[in-house]
């Protein structure tokens, strides 16, 4: 049934440029589309940004749970605590440090931890400052992924396979702002993080270039199409699990104090710019 619908849609819209991604392999949305219709695994429920929230929560049952849970997955209590931490995240240094520490302590479950963070970034109703704070959490985790912690290195590949759809979501937000100044302020918050990744050489230059292009909403995939085989979808396998359903009408940028975020998001009470500090080489200043 689904196959017939796909074929009929391709036929009906074959001359409509808006649906070019259905048939053109080089289109920057084609891999995402193909992954959605071909996946056969169960997608976890969307992240719920409403509910219990506390960065400083603990659960005595979590220690007992760890004894009966595989290290490659989060237990029920651990997952609940981490989701509560993400809901409470505002970008303060101590909050980021706690969330990062949780992530590294559960590095063997890097895939699930990454899934949760990415899902939380794609919630349409989440305020922009909280989205930025969660992006900074990814930045902290990536910075410390070279630490001598078992499986910490996995976070690089896990986030790389997922960040593309996040930047597509950011692009939708960026282009939804009614005012250019507010839009550019938001964009600068995102690109400043990409700048840091490039300084640290966290990802290959081609990947960060792609992220910038996706933020702008341009078709960057053509640059790599000639180098990618038709069936080469390994890099995107997990990323394709996510679909951004952001609606401009549900987002109210006028209510968000976006201009204040760049000045405050990376600073603690004494006014120290901690991201600039880490950018200058301190790996452990968030621990």
- For the chain, what percent of residues have pLDDT higher than 90? 47
The answer, yes or no, to whether residue 45 has pLDDT greater than 60, is: no
Give the start-end residues of each E strand in the chain. Answer: none
pLDDT recorded at residue 220: 44
The answer, yes or no, to whether residue 127 has pLDDT greater than 80, is: yes
**Range 149-171 average pLDDT:** 93
The answer, yes or no, to whether residue 77 has pLDDT greater than 70, is: yes
pLDDT recorded at residue 21: 81
The answer, yes or no, to whether residue 252 has pLDDT greater than 50, is: no
Question: Quick one: which H or E segment has residue 137?
Answer: helix 128-143
pLDDT recorded at residue 1: 45
Catalogue the long-range contacts made by 119-122 (C-beta closer than 8 Å, 24 or more residues apart). Answer: 119/44, 119/46, 119/47, 119/242, 120/47, 120/49, 120/83, 120/86, 121/166, 121/169, 122/46, 122/47, 122/165, 122/166, 122/169, 122/242, 122/244, 122/246
**Range 100-112 average pLDDT:** 95
Q: What is the average pLDDT score of the chain?
A: 76
pLDDT recorded at residue 31: 66
The answer, yes or no, to whether residue 245 has pLDDT greater than 50, is: no
Q: 62-71, 105-114, 254-263 — which is least confidently predicted?
A: 254-263
**Range 259-285 average pLDDT:** 40
pLDDT confidence of 249, banded at 50, 70, 90?
A: very low
Structure tokens at 90: 């505002």
pLDDT tens by residue, 164-176: 999 999 999 999 9
Look at 56 and 58; give whichever has higher pLDDT: 56
pLDDT recorded at residue 135: 97
Distances from the Cα of 261 to the Cαs of 77, 133, 265, in angstroms? 32, 9, 5
The answer, yes or no, to whether residue 137 has pLDDT greater than 90, is: yes
Look at 104 and 223; give whichever has higher pLDDT: 104
Q: Where do runs of H (alpha helix) occur along 220-286?
A: 222-225, 261-264, 274-279
pLDDT recorded at residue 173: 94
User: How far is Cα 59 from Cα 78, in angstroms, rounded to an integer?
Assistant: 8
pLDDT confidence of 60, banded at 50, 70, 90?
A: low
pLDDT recorded at residue 47: 87
Q: 193-197, 218-222, 264-268, 283-287 — which is least confidently predicted?
A: 283-287
Residue 273's DSSP bridge partners are 267
């Amino acid at each position: 049934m689904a196959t017939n619908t796909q074929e009929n849609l391709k036929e009906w819209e074959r001359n409509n440029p808006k649906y070019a991604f259905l048939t053109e392999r080089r289109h920057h949305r084609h891999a995402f589309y193909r992954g959605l219709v071909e996946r056969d695994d169960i997608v976890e429920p969307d992240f719920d940004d409403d509910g219990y929230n506390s960065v400083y929560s603990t659960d005595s049952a979590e220690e007992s749970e760890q004894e009966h849970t595989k290290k490659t997955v989060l237990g029920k209590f651990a997952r609940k605590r981490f989701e509560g931490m993400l809901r409470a995240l505002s970008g303060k240094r101590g909050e980021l440090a706690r969330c990062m520490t949780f992530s590294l302590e559960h590095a063997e479950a890097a895939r699930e931890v990454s899934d949760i963070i990415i899902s939380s970034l794609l919630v349409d109703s989440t305020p922009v400052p909280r989205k930025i704070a969660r992006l900074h959490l990814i930045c902290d985790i990536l910075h410390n992924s070279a630490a001598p912690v078992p499986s910490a290195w996995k976070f690089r590949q896990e986030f790389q396979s997922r960040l593309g759809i996040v930047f597509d979501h950011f692009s939708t937000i960026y282009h939804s702002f009614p005012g250019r100044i507010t839009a550019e302020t938001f964009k600068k918050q995102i690109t400043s993080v990409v700048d840091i990744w490039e300084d640290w050489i966290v990802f290959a230059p081609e990947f960060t270039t792609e992220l910038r292009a996706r933020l702008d909403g341009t078709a960057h995939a053509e640059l790599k199409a000639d180098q990618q085989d038709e069936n080469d979808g390994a890099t995107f396998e997990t990323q394709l699990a996510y679909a951004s359903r952001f609606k401009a009408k549900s987002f109210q940028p006028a209510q968000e104090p976006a201009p204040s975020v760049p000045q405050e998001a990376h600073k603690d009470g004494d006014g120290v710019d901690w991201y600039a500090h880490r950018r200058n080489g301190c790996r452990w200043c968030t621990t």
